Amino acid sequence: MTPGSPSGPVAPPPLALYVHWPWCVRKCPYCDFNSHESRNDTDEAAYLAALIADLEAALPQIWNRPVISVFIGGGTPSLMRAETADALLAAIRMRVPLHPGAEITLEANPGTAEAAKFAAFRAAGVTRLSIGVQSFDDAKLTALGRIHDSAEAQRAIDMALTHFDRVNLDLMYALPGQTLAEAEQDIATAIRCGVGHISAYHLTLEPNTPFHHAPPPLPDDDLAADMQEMVEAALAVAGFAQYEISAFARAAHDGTSRCQHNLNYWNFGDYLGIGAGAHSKLSNHQTIWREARHRNPRAYLEGAARGDFISTQQAVAGDDLPGEFMMNALRLNEGFSSRLFTERTGLPLAVIEESALAARRAGLLETVAGHIRPTLRGRRFLNQLLAEFLKG
């Protein structure tokens, strides 16, 4: 083994399970996720059978490893029938050792039909609901192509809090035509809702989306930066701790409202992804593998009939591991310990020493209480910070 080459993780990292539901009612113009507008011929039973077969085919890769969290994302998973969710989670419990108290998240839109199923989702075993509100301003929701209005969002949140201890709201800022006062109103409304977790994202124009091809009028960079600072300050005053670039959590009776599934991503844990277009990162002896499932739902179902789920599979090159680790860990306000870097990559910390020194000199990185973490400037200019570790 050459100096600085990966020896593999010291021990398998924590393992999470991601399940992709690819359908939504209507594709939003800013969305670049693998989502497809639902048709009358959507066969939930066939897709559920494919998911179960996908999980069974992957079992040799994760044999006997406890699963710490399950995240059902999309698309709009709350469109599925409650019976489908129940059968899916039962199938998962039968096939993998689900950790006691595992966080099980389901993404939901605030539509009336979906909210009516919240009690059944909780009874099926979902423990955390993530609601894609995006804004409480009806005009902004229309500009974003959302199909709910503010009143529906409020009702859905109230219903979610009736059945779930853990509820997250997804919000966006720097929206088309948005003023600072309007962004402040959105955050204030979200805080008053009484949830324990808020994810606040800057709207970005992703390639291959309608917004990218025909950009709407957006706030300029200075105004967007003011909005970001306002969001962080308002949530801090309300008792939300920012633990990641876009994630804010209140303290809870069990210690935290932080999203355990996403924390596993950011700490470079392992995850198995099943469903159309799902991605996996799995550690196997001295190698870390990345996989992707067939992206189009029809291709995924056709592949499932052949027992063929994976479209690409490749080992992560040793030279790429430091950059991949840093792209995740530096999203966290508290950063990471040197021990975690070695455990998750199999590499000595020395391989990032030169880049870390350059980032420190630029005021982007610091070490506090044994943790290497981004400074406030580093969080504001995260792409510049990450570039130090992605050179070459």
Instruction: Identify the CATH number of the domain in which residue 81 sits.
Output: 3.20.20.70
CA dist 365 and 120 (Å) reads 46
* Of the listed ranges 6-15, 147-156, 186-195, the one predicted with least confidence: 6-15
Domain that holds residue 124: 15-264
Query: Quick one: 335 and 231 in the same domain?
Result: no
Judge whether 41 and 82 are in contact, CB under 8 Å.
Answer: no
Which of 245, 222, 224, 128 is closest to 176 using CA atoms?
224
Q: Report the DSSP pairing between strands 365-368 and 371-374.
A: antiparallel
Q: Are residues 85 and 218 in the same domain?
A: yes
Residue 113 has pLDDT above 80, yes or no: no
- What pLDDT, in 10s, does the model give residues 342-366? 999 999 999 999 999 999 999 999 9
In-domain check, residue 272: no
Residue with tokens 């398998």: 12
Percent of the chain predicted with pLDDT > 70: 96
Same domain, 104 and 225: yes
Residue 128 clears pLDDT 50, i.e. is over it: yes
> Model pTM?
0.94
Question: Do 79 and 197 reside in the same domain of the chain?
Answer: yes
Distance of CA 54 to the CA centre of its chain: 21
Residue given tokens 């290497």 in the structure block: 372
Q: How far is CA 186 from the centre of its chain?
A: 22
- Evaluate whether residue 377 is within a structural domain: yes
Do 318 and 6 meet the contact criterion of CB atoms below 8 Å apart? yes
Chain centroid, CA 50 distance in Å: 23
Residue 134, beta-bridge partner list: 171
Q: Is the same domain home to 338 and 218?
A: no
Of 218, 235, 264, the residue that ends a domain is 264
> Domain boundary residue among 225, 244, 264?
264
In a domain, 365, yes or no: yes
The answer to whether residues 140 and 228 belong to one domain is yes
Torsions phi, psi of 198, nearest 5? -130, 130
Residues 211 and 125 in one domain: yes
Q: Is residue 308 part of a domain?
A: no
- The answer to whether residue 148 is domain-embedded is yes
Q: How many folded domains does the chain comprise? A: 2
Q: What is the CATH number of the domain that holds 382?
A: 1.10.10.10
Is the per-residue pLDDT at 7 higher than 60?
Answer: no
Structural tokens at position 388: 């130090």
Q: How confident is residue 42, by pLDDT bands cut at 50, 70 and 90?
A: confident
Closest of 297, 287, 290, 296 to residue 312, by C-alpha? 290
Which one of 264, 282, 304 terminates a domain? 264
pLDDT tens for residues 156-172?
A: 999 999 999 999 999 99
What tokens does 305 get?
Answer: 């009939």
Q: What confidence score (pLDDT) does residue 32 get? A: 87
Looking at the structure, do residues 31 and 166 belong to the same domain, yes or no?
yes
DSSP letters for 112-165: HHHHTTHHHHHHHT--EEEEEEE-S-HHHHHHTT-S--HHHHHHHHHHHHHH-S
Provide the terminal-to-terminal Cα distance of the chain, rounded to the nearest Å: 22
CA distance 17 to 274: 8
Question: Which has more confidence, 286 or 299?
Answer: 299
pLDDT tens for residues 172-192?
Answer: 999 999 999 999 999 999 999
Residue 104 lies inside a defined structural domain of this protein:
yes
Residue 252 confidence (pLDDT) above 90: no
Residue 282 inside a domain? The answer is: no
Q: Are residues 259 and 354 in the same domain?
A: no
pLDDT for 288-346, tens place per residue?
999 999 999 999 999 999 999 999 999 999 999 999 999 999 999 999 999 999 999 99
Cα separation, 229 vs 208, whole angstroms? 29
User: Residue 3: its pLDDT value, please?
Assistant: 39
* 178 in the same domain as 47: yes
Instruction: Tell me: do 43 and 163 sit in the same domain.
Output: yes
Q: Which residue, among 3, 4, 1, 6, has the nearest Cα to 289 in the 3D structure? A: 6
Whether 392 has a pLDDT exceeding 90, the answer reads no
Residue 103 lies in a domain: yes
Q: Which pLDDT does position 2 carry in this prediction?
A: 43
31 with 150, same domain: the answer is yes
pLDDT (0 to 100) of residue 8: 52
